[in-house]
């Protein structure tokens, strides 16, 4: 049963879809420990399907919960983390929750503990931690056990559920695309060594080259900025062997494009260039940039629903991977003298 078009779902809609009483739905939402796991899972699935939003004022009177979620994130204007934070906030607000954000200058055990403690003083019902750095792993292992927590963009060996884009799959996809155009190998301009996303993209890129029996060039490390891409692009432009470059984000790709143009290397006739992120401006680079699109909206929604499950006492899946999408534009083309596969 779906809610009638034009009106939001109500408690009865959830009860009918889940095949339980309204009292059971209320218990799942307010006192989940009193409900069997199988019933609880069925009710939570109905809540998600109907996009049911509890009346927060009434719910707070019954449960003592605040209706506020906390988010811990690094203070950055980088497109990926900033977009992730925005989409988490939108998903939570769409479901009737307010959001309190603790922005940190760095992500380590001490700063994360301080950020979570700051949010606990605001009586948040649960916390989402955006943790793209290697240094965040230790902090995620030492969080208060009574606080419902999920992470975004975190590593593989942490004890909380994680929602993230499959970075290695995106890098593999764009590398295979470049090889299919006849390029002998693909050079890589990577992000900083302490960023998990950067290292996952290296893994995906290298895995495709090794599986295809192609040479694996040395990784060039940038800092996500267009300036670092430009500096590394100048090195690449001077190497006549370079015919394809995968850059770990679109901002660095912008710098690579400029360096190649200044050196007289045409894109894509002489060198193909691909990025990662699909920032809004990438379609307007010259030439328009082939890149990998990340669905930050899906990341935000999945992280929010994982947290809802934790808050309801359920055991959500340990890892939810979102598949990225290859967006092919005019910056990639056939290798010089080659016939695309």
Residue 223 φ then ψ, to 5°:
-125, 25
Both tokens assigned to 236:
């690449």
Assigned domain for 233 exists = yes
Assigned domain for 327 exists = no
Distance of CA 102 to the CA centre of its chain: 18
Please tell me whether residue 134 adopts helix, strand or coil conformation: coil
Evaluate whether 18 touches 45 at the Cβ level (below 8 Å).
Answer: yes
Helices (H), 64-195: 79-94, 109-120, 136-140, 167-180
Asked if residue 15 and residue 121 are part of one domain, the reply reads: no
- What is the spatial distance between Cα 262 and Cα 178, in angstroms, rounded to a whole number? 23
Assigned domain for 338 exists = no
Asked if residue 303 and residue 159 are part of one domain, the reply reads: yes
pLDDT, tens digit only, all 341 positions of the chain: 455 555 678 888 888 999 998 888 877 876 666 788 888 889 888 888 888 876 655 555 455 566 889 999 887 778 888 888 888 888 888 877 889 888 887 777 788 888 888 888 888 999 999 888 888 877 888 887 888 999 998 887 788 899 999 999 999 999 999 999 999 999 999 999 999 999 999 999 999 999 999 999 999 999 999 999 999 999 999 999 999 999 999 999 999 999 999 999 999 999 999 999 999 999 999 999 999 999 998 998 899 989 988 888 877 778 889 999 999 999 999 999 776 66
Bridge partners, residue 98, by sequence: 68
Asked if residue 73 and residue 27 are part of one domain, the reply reads: no
Asked if residue 263 and residue 213 are part of one domain, the reply reads: yes
Three-state secondary structure string covering 237-261: HCCCCCCEEEECCHHHHHHHHHHHH
> Whose structure tokens read 């943790």?
131
Assigned domain for 332 exists = no
Q: Please report, for the domain that includes residue 232, its CATH number.
A: 3.40.50.2300
In sequence order, what are the residues at sequence separation of 6 or more whose Cβ sits closer than 8 angstroms to the Cβ of residue 175? 186, 204, 205, 208, 209, 246
Domain span holding position 308: 65-164+296-322
Nearest to 194 by CA among 176, 221, 167: 221
Per-residue confidence (pLDDT) for residue 216, from 0 to 100? 98
Both tokens assigned to 60:
């707070």
Asked if residue 138 and residue 45 are part of one domain, the reply reads: no
Evaluate whether 80 touches 249 at the Cβ level (below 8 Å).
Answer: yes
| Cβ-based neighbour number of residue 218 at 10 Å | 7
Assigned domain for 333 exists = no
Both tokens assigned to 241:
């062997």
In sequence order, what are the residues at sequence separation of 6 or more whose Cβ sits closer than 8 angstroms to the Cβ of residue 192? 198, 221, 222, 223, 224
- What is the spatial distance between Cα 294 and Cα 102, in angstroms, rounded to a whole number? 24
Both tokens assigned to 266:
């045409």
Assigned domain for 306 exists = yes
CA distances from 82 to 39, 85, 222 (A): 37, 5, 19
Quote the crossing angle between the two packed helices 22-30 and 11-18, to the nearest 10°.
Answer: 100
Asked if residue 147 and residue 48 are part of one domain, the reply reads: no
Asked if residue 271 and residue 310 are part of one domain, the reply reads: no
- What is the spatial distance between Cα 304 and Cα 92, in angstroms, rounded to a whole number? 6
Evaluate whether 298 touches 322 at the Cβ level (below 8 Å).
Answer: yes
Per-residue confidence (pLDDT) for residue 61, from 0 to 100? 46
Assigned domain for 148 exists = yes
Both tokens assigned to 306:
């994982």
- What is the spatial distance between Cα 120 and Cα 130, in angstroms, rounded to a whole number? 17
| pTM of structure | 0.79
Both tokens assigned to 55:
């009346």
Both tokens assigned to 79:
């497109």
Asked if residue 151 and residue 111 are part of one domain, the reply reads: yes
Evaluate whether 304 touches 98 at the Cβ level (below 8 Å).
Answer: no
The tally of domains found in the chain comes to 3
Asked if residue 108 and residue 206 are part of one domain, the reply reads: no
Q: How far apart are the first and last CA of the chain?
A: 49
Asked if residue 175 and residue 108 are part of one domain, the reply reads: no
Per-residue confidence (pLDDT) for residue 33, from 0 to 100? 66
Nearest to 200 by CA among 167, 233, 225: 167
What is the chain's length?
341
Asked if residue 29 and residue 80 are part of one domain, the reply reads: no
């Amino acid at each position: 049963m779906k809610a009638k078009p034009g009106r939001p779902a109500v408690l009865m809609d959830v009860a009918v879809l889940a095949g339980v009483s309204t009292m059971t739905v209320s218990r799942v939402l307010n006192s989940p420990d009193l409900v069997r796991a199988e019933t609880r899972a069925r009710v939570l699935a109905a809540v998600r399907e109907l996009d049911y939003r509890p009346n927060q004022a009434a719910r707070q009177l019954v449960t003592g919960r605040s209706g506020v979620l906390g988010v811990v994130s690094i203070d950055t204007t980088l497109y990926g983390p900033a977009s992730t934070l925005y989409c988490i906030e939108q998903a939570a607000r769409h479901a009737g929750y307010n959001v309190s954000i603790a922005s940190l200058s760095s992500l380590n055990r001490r700063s994360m503990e301080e950020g979570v403690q700051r949010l606990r003083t605001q009586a948040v019902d649960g916390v989402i931690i955006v943790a793209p750095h290697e240094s965040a792993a230790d902090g995620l292992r030492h969080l208060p056990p009574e606080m419902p927590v999920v992470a975004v963009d975190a590593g593989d060996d942490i004890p909380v559920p994680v929602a993230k884009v499959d970075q290695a799959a995106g890098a593999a996809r764009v590398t295979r695309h470049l090889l299919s155009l006849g390029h002998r190998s693909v050079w890589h301009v990577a992000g900083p060594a302490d960023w998990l996303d950067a290292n996952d993209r290296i893994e995906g890129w290298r895995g495709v080259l090794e599986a295809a029996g192609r040479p694996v060039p040395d990784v060039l490390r940038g800092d996500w900025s267009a300036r670092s891409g430009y500096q590394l692009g100048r090195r690449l432009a001077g190497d006549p062997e370079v015919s394809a470059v995968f850059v770990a984000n679109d901002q660095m790709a912008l710098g690579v494009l400029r360096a190649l143009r200044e050196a007289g290397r045409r894109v894509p006739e002489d060198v193909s260039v691909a990025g990662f992120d699909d920032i809004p401006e990438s379609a307007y680079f010259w030439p328009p940039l082939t890149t990998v699109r990340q669905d930050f909206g899906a990341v935000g929604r999945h992280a929010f629903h994982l947290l809802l499950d934790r808050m309801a006492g359920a055991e959500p899946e340990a890892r939810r991977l979102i598949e990225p999408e290859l967006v092919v534009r005019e910056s990639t083309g056939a290798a010089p003298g080659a016939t695309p596969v």
